Structure 1
């Protein structure tokens, strides 16, 4: 897995991810302390509102950014958003009112919603071999899990010597380093685009193309399963440990570490597992395992067994997310990839926007057993839906027929573009009105401008 780092461009992107993750982890701690400084006992309400704003920004901004990203050179786009994030984080130490936190979080997360999916879509452009890309996905999951363990410990040690405002400065510096690392990568060669020319069509293209792809409809159902299990862990771990089991707060960290341990084991295993088992089977089995773990939680187990359940949920969570990246790569061409990744980013966070408050409300109103039960049912239903909408024979190469068509878009002369020129059109890729004769052929099929519907 770590041999991938000999690729200079991938190593730069991975380093940028690590630095930005650590900076963001420190800001998460600092934001909680800032909220307490400004709101006192109402800090939880402030943070809850900030989390809701974050999710709304992710769901609404990501599809727009994914549709518009191809209009700007990829490196310029990513560096600009990193610089904007650095500037916005730098404003947080000067906040004096709660409403200012909300405004800055909205702007900061809007930038992240534009940055993250396009950044993720850049990696498969660099690592075109699917096996290498699978290893990169596992490495990315590993980075997220390690950060969740390292950042709180690093923050705790730093607070012995520094004010929490120093964390905001550190995060701003982290985004600047990320921008420099992204700037250092070699620009990808320009590719013909297949997205629509109209601006509204560009924005909606990613979501419509995603939902028109059967395997991605299955992925959306699995994203709901992941969000149901993940929300139970994120929202109710502290309630289970300190209210239900009457243990000290440090055991909350231990239980969350069990979730992270399961996630890391799965991340390290996925490159080898996926050589022998297809993504559909891995995803469905992982979703079923998370559902079973939640169902066993109804019995309100002791702490030791709860660590096993949390590890199982963590493993299933990580396995589905690794498969998600592979499915998005397989279902899109390079020019369209940011729109697909942005759609997954928005839709998956939309699932969390539903399950976060559901997990909290059920646990607070009816108790943890009911929360476990309802979220287990939601997980199982999601897996069943995925099983039905995701074809078991998920072929990549499909025979299909094109009707005659006149249109204009940026293109190269490939299997879909065999037409005469008059000399003024310029070098490829170029844009001019052109005609497509009726055609029947086979190739790796993805939804794009020339393939608006899945073949039956």
Structure 2
């Protein structure tokens, strides 16, 4: 009986794929997310080509520019999606991103990487919130929660599983040619976007005609709603800690594998695959592990697993390192997946668009802070970078728990 319930819980979100329009949108976004993973792994290996010992700083700088673009532009993208033909936003930004990706194999200077990464993610910042705003328009109300759940799980899952898959592919194609594979994924996703029924996803003109909205007022209101809820506020604190630890993994793993353990691209690919497998396992069972209103157990256990896993990573063999990254993947999914669910459950449906946009910006702000920290530990303490990253993460967790307990007593 329990096994049947468990299987039904896993497969329930996939019921929303019975609606053709949503299935088309979902698979377009899934392919696009996988392409983003190819981009990240290619950048990691390309950064190592440019500066070996300096690779952590190059990669951290590039990824910091990535999240800065998200922070600046994504809050306004949700507002734009309410006023402009959403299908146009999707396919225009999508094909521009494809063109930028095709330039990456030909870079021959560090600053080329920085410029292209920033431009790429300016258009990413408009694509993702627009995608989220379309889901309610192409899904019937009774399947909306399933669709949001599947979309969120896939976004979180491929964010960590994708680099592992891309790392394995990079072994076959090399650090530069992987960008061409990335471009092919963009073409496939672009075809699906063009197939979307435009009549379902044009801007809601009836709403636009009722009142003139202030873009800045919407952005501010989204942030106030996001931080005004106690449960969501705690999950955001856990997301920040998860970003601190996760950035250590994304930035410093390639340097540790190649310079610390003296191994190659193949071993790097398998390590990132282990991280992704752990995340995949957690993504599909997280909802069954913690069904509480606050998701507090999932959040705390997840960030503990993540912080403890990286703390000892500098001093273990390759085999143990694989196991630690598997556990770290479990922890990251458990720590990050509850946030969007909490938004869906605690924010009124007519306010969710601006709140999701605000969450997208703030969750990337955490990474904008975390990447430079990872770059600093990787360049200044190459033999102890994970130890210091784990110590910082666990210290902030203690502070967050103390503040949470204090607020609960009030």
TM-score computed with the length of structure 2 as normaliser: 0.78
Shift of 1:89: 4.0
For 2:93 and 2:405, locate their aligned partners in 1 and report how far apart those are by CA, in whole Å. Answer: 35
1:71 is matched with: 83
Contact 1:84 1:111 in 2 (8 A): yes
Shift of 1:15: 0.7
Of residues 292, 301, 306 in structure 1, which corresponds to 2:321? 306
What per-residue deviation string (whole Å, max 9, x for no partner) do you get for residues 17-71 of structure 1? 222134334444666788899x688994765543332122112111222343322
* 1:170 and 2:184 are equivalent in the alignment: yes
Greater fraction helix = 2
1:149 is matched with: 164
1:280 is matched with: 296
What per-residue deviation string (whole Å, max 9, x for no partner) do you get for residues 225-248 of structure 1? 111221121122234334444445
Shift of 1:385: 1.6
Change (3 A) 1:36 1:22: same
What per-residue deviation string (whole Å, max 9, x for no partner) do you get for residues 136-195 of structure 1? 4334444444533333444554569x9667446525524522432445683389485899
* 1:325 and 2:325 are equivalent in the alignment: no
1:62 is matched with: 74
| Larger CA Rg, structure 1 vs 2 | 1
The number of aligned residues is: 391
2:282 is matched with: 266
Shift of 1:349: 1.6
Structure of higher RCO (CA pairs closer than 8 Å, 6+ residues apart)? 2
Shift of 1:263: 0.5
Contact 2:244 2:367 in 1 (8 A): yes
Contact 1:89 1:171 in 2 (8 A): no
For 1:281 and 1:136, locate their aligned partners in 2 and report how far apart those are by CA, in whole Å. Answer: 23
TM-score computed with the length of structure 1 as normaliser: 0.71
For 2:243 and 2:173, locate their aligned partners in 1 and report how far apart those are by CA, in whole Å. Answer: 32
Shift of 1:379: 3.6
2:330 is matched with: 315
1:198 is matched with: 214
For 2:100 and 2:186, locate their aligned partners in 1 and report how far apart those are by CA, in whole Å. Answer: 8
Change (3 A) 1:293 1:124: farther
Change (3 A) 1:206 1:181: farther
What residue ranges of structure 1 are gaps of 5+ in the alignment?
Answer: 394-455
Of residues 98, 103, 115 in structure 1, which corresponds to 2:127? 115
1:403 is matched with: none
Of residues 251, 274, 290 in structure 2, which corresponds to 1:235? 251
Contact 2:59 2:251 in 1 (8 A): no
For 1:138 and 1:164, locate their aligned partners in 2 and report how far apart those are by CA, in whole Å. Answer: 25
What residue ranges of structure 2 are gaps of 5+ in the alignment?
Answer: 1-10
1:435 is matched with: none
Contact 1:216 1:327 in 2 (8 A): yes
Change (3 A) 1:6 1:392: farther
Residue correspondence of structure 1 range 125-164 to structure 2 within 5 A: 126=139, 128=143, 130=145, 133-157=148-172
